[in-house]
A and B are shown apart, each in its own frame.
Chain A
Amino acid sequence: MNFVVGILFSGIAMIILILIPWVGVGAFDLRLVFGIIVPYLALATFFVGIVLRVINWARSPVPFRIPTTAGQQWSLPWIKPNRIDNPKGTGGVVVRMIFEVLLFRSLFRNTRLEFRKGPKITYEWEKWLWLAALVFHYSFLVIFLRHFRFFLDPVPAFIHILERLDGFLQMGPLPVSGLGVPEVYITDMLLLLALLYLFLRRLYVHQTRYISLPADYFPLFLLLTLGLTGVLMRYFLRVDLTAVKELAIGLVKFHPKVPEGIGVIFYIHLFMLCTLIAYFPFSKLVHMAGIFLSPTRNLSNNSRFVRHINPWNYPVKVHTYEEYEDEFRDKMIEAGLPVEKMPEKAEEGAGAKEEEEKKE
C-alpha cells in the first residue's frame, strides 16, 4: 500500500463520514436517527464487540510462560533481582503492568538521551513518540471525563475540579476574542497537537510511512475531526448547551428525546464519536484491551519454580534410551560405557541387522 493511496482512502472515508450527519440532519432533519438511534447502536456495537473480542482472545490458552525478561532474574540470595522488569510473582507483574499501561514504559525505553559526536557531547531528545503518545492518551482521558458534565446531573465535584485544573492556564484572549471565547482547556490544544504530531511522524519517518496502512491514518483522522468539531463548538460555533445536556441525560436515562435547536456541528461531532466507538472493537484500537492480555508482559518469570500447565499438552513420539542402547550397545560396551542389557540377553537378530544397516 503506498502511503498516498492510504491517506486518500482514509481521507475520502472521513469526508463521507462527515457528510452523512451533515446531510442527514441539515437537509433531511433526521435528528432522531443521529441523536438517538445511531448513538445507541454505536454503544451496543462497542460493548458487544469488545466483549466478544476479549472472549475470543481468552478462548485461546496461554500454553507457555514467555515473559520478556528485561532485568536480572531472581536466583541467588545475594544477587539483586529486578522485581519489576523480571517479575517473580504477581506483585511485580502488577507493577510492571501499571508502568506499561499508565506510563508506556517500554516505549520510553526506546532511545537514549545522549550521544557523543566527535569530541563534544550533544543532546538529542528522542522520546517524542513516547511523549506524544502519553499526551494524547491522557488528554483524551481528561476530555472524556470532562464530558461527564453533560451526562450527570448534578455534576460531580471532581469534574468541576478537573475543569478548573484543565482551564487553569488561561491562554489569554485569542485573536477572535470578540466572539466571546471561554477559557481555553489545555487538553484540547494538547490533544490536537499530539494527534497532528503522530500523523506527521507517520509520514515523516520513513519506516512508519512504509508500514502504515489506511487503518493507521483513519483513526487519526477520525480523532482529529472529533477534536476539531469539539473545539469549533466550544470556541466558535456555540451550540445550545442546555439542549445538548438534555439530549445526553435523556440518552443515559433511557428516556431519549431530541430537543430543538442544536446545530448540525453537534451532530457531526456526535457522529464522529459514534463511529469511533463502533470502530473500536474491529480495529487496532483494541490494543487498549489487548495490552492487559499480552503474555510477554503479564506473566511472571517463574516457570523454573512454579509449574506452568499447558492445557493442550499432548504426548509426543520420542527416541527412548532403550532404542538408543539397542543401536549402539556393542560400541558402548567396547568403550567401557555401562549398558542396561548385556548383548547375550539382547535379541541377537536385531543387533546383527543393525550392524548391517550401519555399514551401508
Chain B
Amino acid sequence: MKLEQLLSQKGPGILGKWLNLALETYPSDAHRFLKKQKDRFANPVGTTIEREIKSLYEELLREIDPERVSPILDRIVRIRAVQEFSPSQAVAFIFSLKYLVRRELEKELRENELFDDLPGFEARVDEVGLLAFDIYMKCREKLYEIRAREARAEVSGLLRKAGMIGMVPVWKAGIEKDNGG
C-alpha cells in the first residue's frame, strides 16, 4: 500500500479531526455554531472552511500545483486574514496536519512500513503552508490597498478630473495619521 492510498482511505477521519483543529482556533463559544450550522449563508466561515479544507486535503495527496491550490487556500485564508489572528495563527492549522497524520495513523504507518514515505507528504504540507502565508500577506496588503483606495474614491473621479477636489473638505482622518498605535 502506498502512503497516498492510506491517506485517501483514512481521509474522512483525518479530515474531521483537521477541521476540528481549524475551528478550534475560534473562541470556544463559537465552535458549535461554526461546526453545526450547515447553512452556507447563515454560517459562511464554518462551511467555507469545511468545504475548502476537503479540497485541500485532496490536493495534498498529489504533486502540489500552486495554480490549483492557491484558489482553495485563498478562500480560507481570506477569511482568517480579517479575524483575530496573528499571521502565524492564521495559517498554523495547515502545519498541524503533519502531526495529526503521524498520530492518527501511527499503527497503519508502522504496519505498512510507510514512515519513509512521510517526508514527501510533509514537504507538501509545508509547501502549502508557505503558500498560505503568501496569500495571507496578499490579503493583508489588499486590506491596506482598499483602505487607501477608499480614501481616494471618497471623491468622485469626475470631480477630480474637473479639478474640484479642493472643494471637498477633508473629513477622512487619513491612513498615515493613525492616532491609535
Contacts and interface: CB of A to CB of B under 8 A. Distances in A.
Interface in B20-49: 28-33, 38-40, 42
Interface in A107-132: 111-112, 115-117, 122, 124
Contacts of A207: 29-30, 32-33
A189 B32 CA distance: 29
Interface size class of B (residues with CB under 8 A): 10 to 19
B42 A206 contact: no
Contacts of B32: 204-207
A82 to B, nearest CB: 22
A111 B29 contact: no
Contacts of A122: 38
A64 interface: no
B91 to A, nearest CB: 25
Contacts of A124: 38
Contact of A206 (B29, B38, B40): B29
Contacts of A205: 32
A57 interface: no
A112 B39 contact: yes
A97 B89 CA distance: 48
Interface string A239-250: 000000000000
B30 A206 contact: yes
A115 B38 contact: yes
A210 interface: yes
Interface in B48-65: none
A360 to B, nearest CB: 14
A149 interface: no
Contacts of B38: 115, 117, 122, 124
Contacts of A53: none
A112 B37 CA distance: 11
A286 B30 CA distance: 29
23 contacts: A111-B39, A111-B42, A112-B39, A115-B38, A115-B39, A115-B40, A116-B40, A117-B38, A122-B38, A124-B38, A204-B32, A205-B32, A206-B29, A206-B30, A206-B31, A206-B32, A206-B33, A207-B29, A207-B30, A207-B32, A207-B33, A209-B29, A210-B29
Given A122-B38, A204-B32, 6 more contacts: A111-B42, A112-B39, A112-B42, A115-B38, A206-B33, A207-B30
Interface of B: 28-33, 38-40, 42
